[in-house]
Amino acid sequence: MYTGSLRRLIDELGRLPGIGPKSAQRIAFHLLKVPGEDAHRLAASIIDVKDNTALCPVCLNVADTDSLCPICIDDRRDTTVLCVVEDPRDIVAVERTSQFRGRYHVLHGALNPLEGVGPEQLRVAELLTRLEPEGVVEVILCTNPNLEGEATALYLARLLTPLGVNVTRIASGLPVGGDLEYADELTLGRALEGRRTMETT
Amino acid sequence: MYTGSLRRLIDELGRLPGIGPKSAQRIAFHLLKVPGEDAHRLAASIIDVKDNTALCPVCLNVADTDSLCPICIDDRRDTTVLCVVEDPRDIVAVERTSQFRGRYHVLHGALNPLEGVGPEQLRVAELLTRLEPEGVVEVILCTNPNLEGEATALYLARLLTPLGVNVTRIASGLPVGGDLEYADELTLGRALEGRRTMETT
């Protein structure tokens, strides 16, 4: 009951993450309706992002082809503190806090022996080569607070601490605005473990 | 913190229906990761659907350019029964029931005086010209069971009945598998109104 080109578009849209058959159909019919230039702009931006995007040669974040990423190119950023993340999207999350003025290093994954992801599959070698030339004094391990992220953090801490850098890990605890009653015991345990003296001044 | 092309892709994706900023970001990073040919296939199918799709000259469903739609082209369909729907997507829904073997007519909207949609904005004139040549004996009004759809159905019933065709309306009632306790009073009222004698044979 669909035409061939509509069927193909629905199939292609359905491959995108978070897009089920219903959403794919809805988006396809929406694209049928919008002015031709809008649809062409979307198609062009998909091709553009593939053609003109590569990994930053320094931190492996997303960057324009043959260029540093917007953060490494910014010479106001502190080169002595590195924030290690699993994925370029995590950089967006950290940047949104406006609390970090150092640079990043993207591992492109986390240790996961069951899925065959060992240290060689992550961009660890590239991290090691950055420490000395950039004068790094602190590495903040900002991997996810789940099994894979914790294992990766532990692995990196053991690797980096003997090299004389200060290795830190982001805190786990209750989310701001959260409710003790609904906190799971692991998170609450971590929150207790990470307790700090109240500042009263 | 995004590159220019990534920012543009996220913006374009965010214009699609049901895609919020988070999903747009997720899809954009997904497209960055997939093989180039996958992304190009998606872009090509968007352009293809715009270039090669038009409205069926008979029923105004989606069709390949310069061609009848898959339903009007099928000569096994009964031309004497017309199912009138608001949108091409509604055809997909009716076809899924496998209970209708006639043809369709797409109004491309429903009456909505507040938004300036009167009978002239709908494809009513095209509907009238089909009745005689196609030998239509029944028109099933399959517009949505909401305010606009009901108003449209009433308008069409008043217009078509004097022309000697049998005008019917799809039933409203409790959804199959639904629960009386949770039915709203309007739906339950409609279900009572539309009650039918039980067949006991």
- The answer to whether residue A156 scores a pLDDT higher than 90 is yes
The one-letter amino acid code at B166 reads: N
How far is it, in rounded angstroms, from Cα A93 to Cα A162?
30
* pLDDT bucket at A197, cuts 50 / 70 / 90: low
CB contact, 8 Å: B3 with chain A?
Answer: yes
- The answer to whether residue B191 scores a pLDDT higher than 80 is no
- Taking only the tens place, the pLDDT of each residue in A161-175 is 999 999 998 888 877
Amino acid B104: pLDDT? 96
- A151 within a domain of the structure (yes/no): yes
Return the H-helix or E-strand segment holding B169. strand B166-169
Our CA angle for B153, B158, B162, nearest 5°, is 135
Say how many CB pairs under 8 Å bridge A and B. 159
Write out the two tokens for A178: 């959260």
CB contact, 8 Å: B62 with chain A?
Answer: yes
3-class DSSP state of A94? helix
- Taking only the tens place, the pLDDT of each residue in A94-118 is 888 888 899 999 999 999 999 999 9
Supply the pTM of this predicted model: 0.74
- The answer to whether residue A80 scores a pLDDT higher than 90 is yes
Cα→Cα distances B182→A8, A168, B176, Å: 39, 54, 13
- From the list A27, A8, A51, the residue with the least C-alpha distance to B45 is A8
- The answer to whether residue B96 scores a pLDDT higher than 90 is no
Of A1-5, A149-153, B66-70, B129-133, minimum mean pLDDT range: A1-5
Cβ–Cβ < 8 Å for A89, A106: no
* For residues B100-117, average pLDDT: 94
Residue of chain B whose alpha carbon sits nearest to that of A95? B1
Whether B89 and A42 lie within 8 Å, measured CB to CB? no
* For residues B70-84, average pLDDT: 94
Our CA angle for B75, B81, B85, nearest 5°, is 100
* For residues A75-92, average pLDDT: 92
DSSP class of B17: T
Helices (H) and strands (E) in chain A, counts: 7, 6
* pLDDT bucket at A201, cuts 50 / 70 / 90: low
Q: Return all residues near A94 (Cβ < 8 A) that are at least 6 apart.
A: A83, A85, A100, A104, A142
CB contact, 8 Å: B69 with chain A?
Answer: yes
Amino acid A183: pLDDT? 75
CB contact, 8 Å: A6 with chain B?
Answer: yes
Which one is predicted more confidently, A186 or B154?
Answer: B154
* For residues A177-184, average pLDDT: 74
Distance from CA of A189 to the nearest CA of B (A): 30
Q: What is the CATH number of the domain that holds B134?
A: 3.40.1360.10
**Greatest mean pLDDT among A72-81, A145-154, A176-185:** A72-81
Partners of residue A52 in chain B, C-beta under 8 Å: 3, 5
- The answer to whether residue A199 scores a pLDDT higher than 80 is no
How far is it, in rounded angstroms, from Cα A104 to Cα A86?
10
- The answer to whether residue B176 scores a pLDDT higher than 80 is no
Residue whose token pair is 């293809």: B48
Distance from CA of A91 to the nearest CA of B (A): 8
- From the list B156, B143, B12, B161, the residue with the least C-alpha distance to B86 is B143
* For residues B79-100, average pLDDT: 90
- A142 within a domain of the structure (yes/no): yes
How far is it, in rounded angstroms, from Cα A82 to Cα A103?
5
- The answer to whether residue B153 scores a pLDDT higher than 80 is yes
* For residues B126-140, average pLDDT: 95
- For a pLDDT cut of 90, what percent of chain B falls above it? 68
User: In terms of residue numbers, what domain contains A122?
Assistant: 55-169
- The answer for B 146-165 residues in CB contact with A (under 8 A) is none
Cα→Cα distances A170→A153, B58, B182, Å: 10, 64, 47
Question: Helical H runs in chain B?
Answer: 4-14, 21-33, 36-51, 88-96, 124-131, 147-160, 185-193
Whether B39 and A50 lie within 8 Å, measured CB to CB? yes
Cβ–Cβ < 8 Å for A61, A55: yes
- The answer to whether residue B197 scores a pLDDT higher than 70 is no
Residue of chain B whose alpha carbon sits nearest to that of A4? B64
- B106 within a domain of the structure (yes/no): yes
- A16 within a domain of the structure (yes/no): no
Q: Return all residues near B177 (Cβ < 8 A) that are at least 6 apart.
A: none
* pLDDT bucket at A184, cuts 50 / 70 / 90: confident
Distance from CA of A162 to the nearest CA of B (A): 33
Distance from CA of A163 to the nearest CA of B (A): 30
* For residues A138-160, average pLDDT: 91
Strands B62-64 and B81-85: unpaired
Partners of residue B7 in chain A, C-beta under 8 Å: none
CB contact, 8 Å: B73 with chain A?
Answer: no
Partners of residue A26 in chain B, C-beta under 8 Å: 17-18, 89
Return the H-helix or E-strand segment holding A81. strand A81-85
How far is it, in rounded angstroms, from Cα A75 to Cα A104?
13
CB contact, 8 Å: A117 with chain B?
Answer: no
**Of A50, A60, A68, which to mutate for an interface test with B (greatest number of B Cβ within 10 Å)?**
A50
Amino acid A146: pLDDT? 86
The chain-wide mean pLDDT, for chain B, equals 89
CB contact, 8 Å: B4 with chain A?
Answer: yes
Distance from CA of A195 to the nearest CA of B (A): 32
* pLDDT bucket at B119, cuts 50 / 70 / 90: very high
Amino acid B58: pLDDT? 95
- A184 within a domain of the structure (yes/no): no
Distance from CA of A6 to the nearest CA of B (A): 6
- B165 within a domain of the structure (yes/no): yes
What total number of domains does chain A contain?
Answer: 1
Write out the two tokens for B59: 């029923």
CB contact, 8 Å: A135 with chain B?
Answer: no
